[in-house]
Amino acid sequence: MRESHRSRPLGRGPRSFQAGTRFRPARFALYSASSTSFVSSLGDWPCSGYETTAAVAIWAALAVPAVAPRPRARQTLADLVRRLTDASFLRPTSALAAATAALSVCGGFLPASVAAAGLGPVATGAAVSVLALCAALTQPRAGRALDNGKITTATGILAGMAITLGGLAAAMIPGLVGMLAAVVGIGVGTGIITPVAFTALAAATPAERLGQTMGAAELGRELGDAGGPLLVGAVATAATLTTGYGALAAVVLGAALIGWAGHGRSTR
């Protein structure tokens, strides 16, 4: 049976005060304060419990060294703008925005393309399902390939942008074949870009600013989600839906060129 504190002989105090252990003033102060009621109950003790507690508190304040606060670097608006315009942030975020814009346009304007091809709502549902299935099957495989070193973040982003661009180009082809090629290309391209771009952002961001960077990247992604349909809708209203797809393809091509330029500088 494990003996209690009361059954221990004199000289065998708590574990912190046994021989061979490191003396800790703060723990000694806490233990002394908790024993005030016991000390004050002794009739022949020369000091009261309050005086003992005050003496221990003063001794602890003098004996325990003061710990200086950890210095924190100040962050200004200029620092934030500098980080958001850095190539390590701009390239993955622009890729995420372009891929999300293509995905949103494909899901939003797909019924109009299906109707123009003379197909019914069943074909629309099947096309949307193929789009989601391609993205869902591609994302874990792209992440696994990146972890295994088969691709890099730069090559993964460029490959995803190229496939997405091919899907948008296929959307300009009328008929069932063009529509299926568009949903497959956009789904696969988005599935590659999403895990690779977020991994690139995490790798280039200090741990203390990871949440801020991911939040800013998600904001860029939401801008693509909202801006893509607005761009295609505005161009389609002024011209045709095919021209709207072409305008978005030009934007995705510009984002791909930004990524390619950054990839060229990083390999020199």
**Over the stretch 209-235, which tens digit does the pLDDT of each residue have?**
888 888 888 888 999 999 999 999 999
- The two structure tokens encoding residue 129: 């399902």
> What would the pLDDT profile of 252-262 be if each residue is shown by its tens digit?
988 888 766 65
> What would the pLDDT profile of 94-117 be if each residue is shown by its tens digit?
999 999 999 999 888 887 887 777
> Could you give the angle at which helices 87-116 and 241-266 cross, rounded to 10 degrees?
160
Count of CB atoms within 10 A of residue 249's CB?
Answer: 21
Give burial (CB, 10 Å; 0-12/13-18/19+) of 4: exposed
Confidence check: pLDDT of 72 > 90 = no
The residue among 171, 168, 166, 181 whose CA lies nearest residue 116 is 171
Homologous superfamily of the 86-266 domain (CATH): MFS general substrate transporter like domains (1.20.1250.20)
Q: What percent of the chain has pLDDT over 70?
A: 74
Residue 46: what pLDDT? 55
- The two structure tokens encoding residue 149: 């070193």
pLDDT band at 24 (very low <50, low <70, confident <90, very high): low
Q: What percent of the chain has pLDDT over 90?
A: 37
Residue 57: what pLDDT? 75
Question: What is the rounded average pLDDT for all residues in the chain?
Answer: 78
Answer yes or no: are the C-beta atoms of 88 and 214 closer than 8 Å. Answer: no
- Give CA–CA dist 101/222, Å, rounded: 9
The residue among 256, 200, 248 whose CA lies nearest residue 225 is 248
Count of CB atoms within 10 A of residue 91's CB?
Answer: 26
Higher pLDDT, residue 83 or 109:
109
Confidence check: pLDDT of 42 > 50 = no
Higher pLDDT, residue 3 or 72:
72
Confidence check: pLDDT of 199 > 60 = yes
Confidence check: pLDDT of 45 > 60 = no
Residue 50: what pLDDT? 67
pTM above 0.85?
no
> What would the pLDDT profile of 135-179 be if each residue is shown by its tens digit?
999 999 999 999 999 999 999 999 999 999 999 999 888 888 888
Confidence check: pLDDT of 20 > 50 = no
* Residues with Cβ within 8 Å of residue 20, at least 6 apart in sequence: none
Residue 179: what pLDDT? 87
Give burial (CB, 10 Å; 0-12/13-18/19+) of 177: exposed
Domain segments of the chain as ranges: 15-63, 86-266
